[in-house]
Structure 1
Amino acid sequence: MTSKTTNISTSSKKNMVLSCADGSAYSMMVGCGETYIAAFALAVGLGQVTAGLVGTVPLLIGGLLQLMGPRGAVWCGSYRRWVVGCALLQGLAFLPLAYGAWHANISVYTLFATCAVYWGFGMAAGPAWNSWIDRLIPKDALRPFFTVRARLTQLAAFLAFLGAGYVLVAFQTKGETLTGFATLFVTATGWRLLSCLCLGLQSDTPLRTNAGPKPNFIIIARRLYTAQSSRFLVFLLASQVGVHIGGAFFASYMLAEAGFPYYQYVALVGMCYLAKIVTLPILSTQIHRFGSYRSLVVAALGISPLPLTWLLAPQFPVLLVIQFFAGVAWAAFELASTLLIFERIAGEERLSMLTVFNLLNAAAVVTGSLIGGAGIKLLPTAYAYPIIFAVSTVARFAAGALLWRPRRMHLAVQSTDATAAEKPAARAA
């Protein structure tokens, strides 16, 4: 091994460790902050529809804010400076929520605006981070590294979510539930600041020569209609609509409609995290064996019937089992879909392409949640949730049908699915 190789290997190992630490700290923020925003909206008295929409509608505003991403990286002259700056502003967005929780008062507009800032800067960092990390990690180390990183981040989110649930229950027993939320949001800011530190310690890389062009909607539209990626990208958008018709109102249903206490709600969501942690190594191996596209087809079938299973809410033990299998399906879905994004979008296009796609994705999320919110608002109370969960299930199956393709196309991309470099994702409904 040459000295140059040794130096690259040492630098790469350092960046891998710091990236895992960054991802873990970020996931701690998500586990004790982001995942409790809907519950906070309910606790402060803003209602079930607001609680469902607060995790989705601000995404559209965030999607517009993150269009500055490609230009921002150029303005800063560095992927690292742009990503760290966005991460810092994202973490600070929890402080207005903490203030509102402490004073037991926050308006719908303030809540939505704060969440728009949170998701906007988080989304703005994403495309630049993808381009940056793609140049930090050796190609032959991508799949094992991101499998390990995904498992660590899921574990961190799981532990943070459980710990936050314990804190919330402890404050609830003292009649200080909103003070508990304030504590969680301040803690979330602290974790994101630690994440910023880990990001700042990683090596910087030169900007790609065309990293800064303004996002071009014509390019993304053309990509949507290419033979290799059309079904996949359209599926991602359609699936977001279907998922969020029902998924956006999971917390509202479990806490307000089904009446589960916080500790049972925490157990249900925590079971999904646990399933991801336990099964990710196996799923990574199987996805590598069978290909990302085939794996995504199976995962899409797995997540489709989930909303109807939530109607079994009175049977808490049954729901725990269902949530475990839901976690497995979502882990496969997240990993396979993100691998396909990196397999089918060239590195030199990735920053601008993902910036535009994030906006389309946010619009799909908002569309789904607005359909679900309208159902809860307009339908008779006794039938609202069953109907929107049924519609969500049908929409998920319909989106999954977009993945089926003629055998000719299947043969054309089969080798690409099985051999391309792999990276993880992290999001479940």
Structure 2
Amino acid sequence: MTLILSQLKSDYRALKSKLKYSYFEAFLSSFVVGIAESFFAAFSIEKGMSTIQSGMLLSLPLILAVGANLLFNFYMRHRSISQQVQRNTLLQTLSLVGLILFSLTDVSQSVLVFGSLMILYSVYWYGFFSSQPVWNIWISELITDSEGHEYFALRTRLTQIGIIIGLVLGGALFQWKFLNLTPTHLFGLLFSAAFVGQLFKYYSFKKHVPSNSVMSFSFNKVKHIFNQNRSFFSTYGLFNASLFLSSPYVTGYLLTSRNLNYFDFMVVTVCLFIGKITSTYVLSLYAKKLTPIKLMVIGGLIAAPLPLLWPYCETLQAMYLLNFVSGMFWALWDVGLSLSFFKNISAEDKIETVTLY
């Protein structure tokens, strides 16, 4: 308990440091994840999509966004890194406006609903994936190597807290039928809250120290980096493949096959992030004894096969426990991956490497 209190005091000091706007941005980004992204599949189902279709609407937009990111990165060279992050934040904000408007419509044609959501989700994820490579360069200019472990550990904790707040707020609105709104209009309210969060996120990026670096992207360098780090990317690809074989369909499975209401779904999901928070506090005490690769291996080997246990969770309590344990080991993977990119990749290779990731 003393160690945890000491860590909390350290976190408080860090939140008042020169990186306070970066920590604020981390919280806002995760709040948007909790109150908007976490409900994408549920919104698709509410709009009449099946479990399979809702899963496809979680996975296919990611693929389209990654492909577009690879293509457009080449044409966005020589632009300021900090300005690029800010533009992508506004692009995500624009996609949320589209989701707000779509939640107010009564479109019932399956093809039109699927196509509209595919476009809106793809634009949202393109903004996210386009920001990640350049953000990694920007943050590496703001913090030193010695600050990296503390920064990413606290950032991860703030991320989980923000997601939980967003999830709880969203689940509570559905549970108590806020203002007696219809479910689709409640989704519009969630996306509106995310829209406000994105605007404050944009403001926090504007308050960061601007980067003097510019976009630099080379397909030849991408190929060289992949060949040079083939083992790492193969391991990462295996984990990601095992993860996305199941995770896009978990929401649909819980809401339709297991008939969870939105509140129970929210609690199950919150347990995942409570597990992550618990794990990051333990990591803050012991992680320096483990290399980033060891953190990734331990986390990945245990977290990846856990979805196999979903059919055997016959009670809500079992679901809570499974997601809590998943969150604990998923956090090891997340922190290990962040530290790997921060410590082991030179600044001039970050855009290509994170784009590959």
Structure 2 Cα separation of the partners of residues 63 and 163 of structure 1: 30
Indicate which of 138, 142, 145 corresponds to 1:132.
138
Is 2:36 the counterpart of 1:29? no
Paired residue for 2:66?
63
Conserved 8 A contact 2:239-2:304: no
CA deviation after TM superposition for structure 1 residue 234, in Å: 1.0
SS at match of 2:246: helix
Q: Give the C-alpha shift of residue 262 in structure 1.
A: 1.1
* 1:142 correspondence with 2:144: no
User: Paired residue for 2:11?
Assistant: none
Shift in Å at residue 13 of structure 1? 6.8
Task: Indicate conservation of the 8 Å contact 1:69/1:125, yes or no.
Answer: no
Question: What amino acid does structure 1 have at the position aligned with 2:327?
Answer: G
Are the equivalent residues in 1 in contact too, given 2:140–2:342 (CA < 8 A)? no
Q: Greater CA deviation, 22-31 or 137-146?
A: 137-146
Q: Which runs of 5+ in 1 are unaligned?
A: 1-11, 359-429
CA spacing shift, 1:279–1:289, aligned 2, 3 Å: same
Partner residue in 1 for 2:174: 168
Residue 72 of structure 1 aligns with an amino acid whose one-letter code is M
Q: For residues 344 and 138 of structure 1, what CA distance do their matches in structure 2 show?
A: 13
1:99 is aligned to 2:113: no
The equivalent residue for 1:416 is: none
Pairwise CA distance, 1:79: 1.6
Return the offset for 1:43: 0.8
Structure 1 contact 70–351 (Cα < 8 Å) conserved: no
For 2:329, the equivalent position in structure 1 comes to: 329
Deviation at 1:311, TM superposition (A): 0.6
Return the offset for 1:71. Answer: 4.8
User: How far apart, in 2, do the equivalents of 1:128 and 1:184 lie?
Assistant: 28
With over 3 angstroms needed to count, the CA separation of the structure-2 counterparts of 1:159 and 1:326, relative to structure 1, is same
Give aligned pairs, total: 338
Aligned residue runs from structure 1 range 112-127, under 5 A: 112-127=118-133
Shift of 1:72: 2.9
Distance 1:180 1:73 in 2: 40
Percent identity over the alignment is 20
Alignment of 1:293-308 (within 5 A): 293-308=293-308
Q: Given the alignment, which residue of 207, 211, 224 partners 2:213?
A: 207
CA contact (8 A) 1:23 1:153 kept: yes
Question: Once structures 1 and 2 are overlaid, which stretch shifts more, 24-33 or 64-73?
Answer: 64-73
Deviation at 1:192, TM superposition (A): 0.7
Given that 1:303 and 1:330 are in contact with CA atoms closer than 8 Å, whether structure 2 keeps it comes out as yes
Whether the aligned pair in 2 keeps the contact of 1:33 and 1:188 (CA below 8 Å) is yes
Equivalent residue runs for 1:222-233 within 5 Å = 222-226=224-228, 229-233=229-233
Question: What amino acid is aligned across from residue 187 of structure 2 in structure 1?
Answer: F
Say whether residues 1:45 and 2:51 are aligned partners: no
Question: Structure 2: how far apart are the matches of 1:97 and 1:236?
Answer: 32
Return 5+ residue gaps in structure 2 as ranges. Answer: 1-14
Question: 1:288, 1:347 → 2: CA distance?
Answer: 23
Question: Residues 13 and 349 of structure 1: is their aligned pair in 2 closer, same or farther, counting only changes over 3 Å?
Answer: farther
Letter in 2 for 1:329: F
- Aligned to 2:199, which of 193, 197, 201? 193
SS in 2 for 1:45: coil
Please give the alpha-carbon distance, in whole angstroms, between the structure 2 residues aligned to 1:193 and 1:165. Answer: 23
Aligned to 1:283: 283
Matches within 5 A, 1:147-158: 147-158=153-164
* Residues 17-36 of structure 1, C-alpha deviations (whole Å, 9 max, x = no match): 00000111111111101110
C-alpha separation in 2, matches of 1:149 and 1:341: 15
- CA distance in 2 between counterparts of 1:269 and 1:29 reads 15
Counterpart of 1:86 (choices 66, 85, 88) is 88
Q: Which moved more, 1:169-178 or 1:135-144?
A: 169-178
Q: Residues 42 and 48 of structure 1 are in contact (CA less than 8 Å); yes or no, is this contact kept in structure 2?
A: yes
The Cα of 1:245 is off from its aligned counterpart by 0.9
Other structure's SS at 1:225 match: helix
Deviation at 1:70, TM superposition (A): 6.2
| In 1, Cα distance between equivalents of 2:181 and 2:21 | 40
Equivalent residue, structure 2, for 1:72: 76
Cα RMSD of the aligned pairs, angstroms, is: 2.0
Change (3 A) 1:339 1:139: closer
What is the distance in 2 between the residues matched to 1:314 and 1:34? 27
Q: Residue by residue, what CA displacement relative to the aligned partner does 1:346-383 show, whole Å, maximum 9, x if unpaired?
A: 2111113322x04xxxxxxxxxxxxxxxxxxxxxxxxx
- Quote how far apart the aligned CAs of 1:172 are: 8.0
> How far off its partner does 1:175 sit?
6.6
Q: If you compute each CA radius of gyration, which structure gives the higher value, 1 or 2?
A: 1
Hey, what's the Cα distance between the residues in 2 that align with 1:22 and 1:172?
28
Shift of 1:69: 3.7
Q: Does 1:183 align with 2:189?
A: yes
Distance of 1:53 and 1:286 partners within structure 2: 39
Question: Following the alignment from structure 1 to structure 2, what is the Cα–Cα distance between the partners of residues 245 and 60?
Answer: 14
Whole-angstrom CA distance in 1 between matches of 2:134 and 2:274:
30
Code of the aligned partner of 2:145: K
The alpha carbon displacement at 1:292 in A equals 1.5
Point out the more displaced range, 65-74 or 287-296: 65-74
Q: Which moved more, 1:44-53 or 1:306-315?
A: 306-315
Question: SS in structure 2 opposite 1:265?
Answer: helix
Matched residue type, 2:22 = S
Q: Is the 8 A contact 2:148 2:339 kept in 1?
A: no
Normalised to the residue count of structure 2, the TM-score between the two structures is 0.89
- Deviations for 1:201-238, whole angstroms, at most 9, x for unmatched residues? 11112116xx423x31x433333333xx3322111112
1:263 aligns with 2:263: yes
